[in-house]
């Protein structure tokens, strides 16, 4: 049992070396990010594979300093103000994020696919002072009455500012702002529906990011290797790219290649052009790799590691991918927005040639309990027993914004985040995520909150009851489907319901199927029995 990290107190502890978080003066993210760059000022920090722009670490720091100065001087952004970024991936994304955070202000990010109404919900909740966006998305933000900063070169006009102009106005500024920031000050509000309900602002502190970055890159430091190049096509608004790829890798002195839109050929071309070593993906991307026969035509010898995360990756798919890239380690990472980055991750050091389907061992400083979801006495389970995964460590969120009730239900008094995922740790401390007990759908790695779709369905005058659950899909992993009870003598069709929803939500939120039923199964207390519906659907496929 001791090989699993399982202790007599029912807690599994990480088998990796202990977590070391450097003390002050690096309590805040941005001084920490740039703490070592005098050793590699001319090394490329960022490439933009779409625009061809590039920045060395020294230029990156200076640009962050200039934009921070401009945000403060021209837009009045100061400590604790919220700035919203509504944009696709680009080299400017991390620059804007870190310029905001360097001021002690708070960055909140949004999926560019969201509708105006969905965006409004986040604006009302997080109360940003300004919005940073691109010309193509301006229509969605123009009526909020907030100052807008445009990425790109568009010139400043009428409450709109150009990123480029702001940087130019900062002249010779090259030092980061001098603001007193504490480790537990908020750095980011990333939205997640968590284990239940609608999207909520996950409060992540400076210390959360610093700790997470040290966890995620601990194996790299053990291997003593540097000069990794990470390709980032995963959306930068999401914790996986925001925390694991951007912040964690940049603070380690690794290079990021930003890619605005995923395409299979684009990825292979970029691996070749930028000599990419690390590719971060979600299972649907891994699936697309296994279907292609053209890999041999590209020069991808630089590639060392492919990491899949965000949703379960079957062992078969993992092995198929490893066959296509014989010289590459294919690993899994497992994490949540609420844990800032990864909880567990495979390792090229200890897992050479092992394709168990696990999500790797717990990262440094992470403690876990596996708790039976069927009992009320919270007895933690030993190795090889499946239960709900609870995790604790320095990267756990501070709570949900404006939602103490949801915070209380997610983090307990001992600091454990209840993930809503089912899994087990084996005899050697490998974590297997096998299912989900929470009310969440993961489609293409994106979160879909069933409660949000249900609320929209309930708003339809001909719908009496509705329940939304995940439905397996080969390409996307899962898609949402709805069980709907119509009011008597209503003749609403499946197409009517799908169209009604499609008009209100981002494309990835759309319903794949609508099943009309006479009633929806509920518990004695009137709660919809989602698990029963999920099991029923699974048994029919």
Residues of the shown chain interacting with ligand 4UV in the complex, contacts defined by CB under 6 A = 192, 239-240, 244, 309-312, 332-337, 341-342, 345, 359, 419, 421, 433, 436, 442, 447
Task: Give, as one character, the DSSP assignment of residue 6.
Answer: B
Tell me 518's DSSP state: S
C-beta of 112 vs 310, nearer to ligand 4UV: 310
Kindly state the smallest distance separating residue 14's Cβ from ligand 4UV, in Å.
Answer: 15
Least distance to ligand 4UV from the beta carbon of 532, Å? 20
User: Cβ closer to ligand 4UV: 287 or 433?
Assistant: 433
- Classify strands 148-150 and 130-133 as parallel, antiparallel or unpaired: parallel
Closer residue to ligand 4UV, CB minimum distance, 97 or 359: 359
φ, ψ of residue 315 to 5 degrees: the values are -60, -40
* Shortest Å, Cβ 281 to ligand 4UV: 10
Question: What is the CB neighbour count within 10 angstroms for residue 23?
Answer: 8
What is the spatial distance between Cα 446 and Cα 117, in angstroms, rounded to a whole number?
18
Residue with smaller CB distance to ligand 4UV, 101 or 341: 341
Q: Quick one: 279 or 342, whose CB is closer to ligand 4UV? A: 342
Q: How far is the CB of 306 from ligand 4UV (least distance, A)?
A: 12
Q: By C-alpha distance, which of 63, 44, 66, 64 is closest to 55? A: 44
CB of 474 to ligand 4UV, least distance (A): 17
How far is Cα 410 from Cα 354, in angstroms, rounded to an integer? Answer: 33
Q: Nearest approach, Cβ of 212 to ligand 4UV (angstroms)?
A: 8
Secondary structure (3-state) at 44: strand
d(CA 299, CA 311): 29
Q: How far is the CB of 4 from ligand 4UV (least distance, A)?
A: 19
Which candidate, 243, 216, 223, places its Cα nearest to that of 348?
Answer: 223
Give the residue with the Cβ less far from ligand 4UV, 417 or 514. 417
CB-based contacts of 61, cutoff 8 Å, min separation 6: 34, 37, 174, 176
Round to whole Å and give the CA distance between 44 and 54: 7
Q: What does 276-319 look like in DSSP terms, one character per residue? A: --EEEE-HHHHHHHHT-S-GGGS--TT--EEEE-SS---HHHHH
The residues pairing with 46 across neighbouring beta strands, listed in sequence order, are 55, 256
CA-wise closest residue to 335 among 353, 309, 313, 360:
309
The neighbouring-strand residues paired with 430 are 361
Rounded to whole angstroms, the Cα distance separating 121 from 75 reads 23
**Based on CB atoms, which residue is closest to ligand 4UV, 88 or 309?**
309
User: How far apart are CB 417 and ligand 4UV at their closest, in Å?
Assistant: 10
Strand 361-362 vs strand 342-345: parallel, antiparallel, or unpaired? antiparallel
How far apart are the C-alpha atoms of 187 and 292, rounded to whole Å? 40
Q: How far is the CB of 396 from ligand 4UV (least distance, A)?
A: 13
* Cis status, amide bond into 525, omega within 30 of 0: no
CB of residue 477 vs ligand 4UV: minimum separation in angstroms? 9
């Amino acid at each position: 049992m001791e090989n699993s990290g399982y202790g007599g107190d029912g807690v599994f502890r990480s088998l990796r070396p202990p977590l070391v978080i450097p003390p002050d003066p690096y309590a805040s993210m941005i001084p920490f990010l740039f703490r070592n760059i005098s050793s590699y000022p001319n090394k490329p920090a960022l490439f933009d594979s779409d625009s061809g722009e590039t920045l060395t670490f020294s230029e990156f720091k200076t640009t962050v300093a200039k934009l921070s100065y401009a945000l403060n001087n021209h837009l009045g952004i100061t400590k604790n103000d919220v700035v919203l970024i509504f944009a696709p991936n680009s080299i400017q994304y991390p620059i804007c994020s870190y310029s905001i955070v360097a001021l002690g202000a708070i960055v909140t990010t949004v999926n560019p696919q969201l509708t105006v109404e969905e965006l409004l919900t986040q604006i009302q909740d997080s109360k940003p002072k300004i919005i940073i966006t691109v010309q193509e998305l301006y229509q969605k933000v123009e009526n909020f009455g907030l100052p807008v900063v445009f990425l790109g070169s568009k010139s400043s006009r009428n409450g709109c500012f150009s990123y480029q102009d702001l940087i130019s106005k900062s002249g010779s500024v090259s030092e980061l702002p001098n603001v007193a920031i504490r480790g537990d000050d908020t750095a980011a509000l990333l939205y997640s529906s968590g284990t239940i309900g609608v999207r909520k602002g996950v409060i992540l502190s400076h210390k959360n990011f610093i700790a997470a970055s040290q966890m995620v890159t601990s194996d790299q430091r053990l291997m003593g290797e540097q000069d990794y190049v990470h390709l980032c096509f995963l959306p930068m608004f999401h914790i996986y790219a925001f925390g694991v790829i951007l912040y964690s890798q940049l603070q380690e002195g690794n290079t990021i290649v930003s890619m605005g839109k995923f395409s299979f050929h684009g990825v292979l071309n970029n691996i070749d052009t930028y000599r990419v070593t690390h590719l971060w993906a979600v299972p649907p991307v891994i699936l697309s790799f296994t279907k292609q026969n053209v890999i041999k035509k590209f020069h991808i010898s630089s590639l060392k590691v492919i990491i899949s995360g965000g949703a379960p990756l079957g062992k078969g798919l993992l092995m198929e991918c490893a066959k296509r890239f014989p010289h590459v380690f294919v690993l899994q990472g497992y994490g949540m927005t609420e844990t800032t980055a990864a909880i567990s991750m495979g390792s090229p050091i200890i897992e050479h040639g092992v394709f168990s389907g696990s999500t790797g061992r717990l990262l440094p400083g992470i403690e876990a309990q596996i708790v039976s979801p069927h009992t009320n006495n919270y007895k933690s389970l030993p190795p090889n027993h499946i239960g709900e995964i609870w995790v604790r460590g320095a990267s756990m969120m501070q709570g949900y914004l404006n939602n103490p009730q949801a915070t209380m239900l997610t983090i307990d008094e001992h600091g454990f985040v209840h993930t809503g995922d089912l899994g087990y740790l084996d005899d050697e401390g490998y974590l297997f995520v096998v299912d989900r007990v929470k009310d969440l759908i993961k489609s293409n790695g994106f979160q879909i909150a069933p409660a949000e779709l249900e609320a929209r369905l309930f708003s339809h005058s001909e719908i009496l009851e509705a329940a939304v659950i995940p439905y397996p899909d080969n390409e996307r992993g899962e898609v949402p489907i709805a069980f709907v009870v119509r009011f008597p003598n209503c003749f609403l069709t499946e197409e009517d319901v799908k169209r009604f929803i499609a008009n209100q939500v981002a494309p990835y939120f759309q319903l794949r199927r609508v099943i009309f039923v006479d009633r929806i199964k509920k518990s004695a207390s009137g709660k919809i029995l989602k698990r029963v519906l999920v099991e029923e659907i699974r048994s029919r496929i």
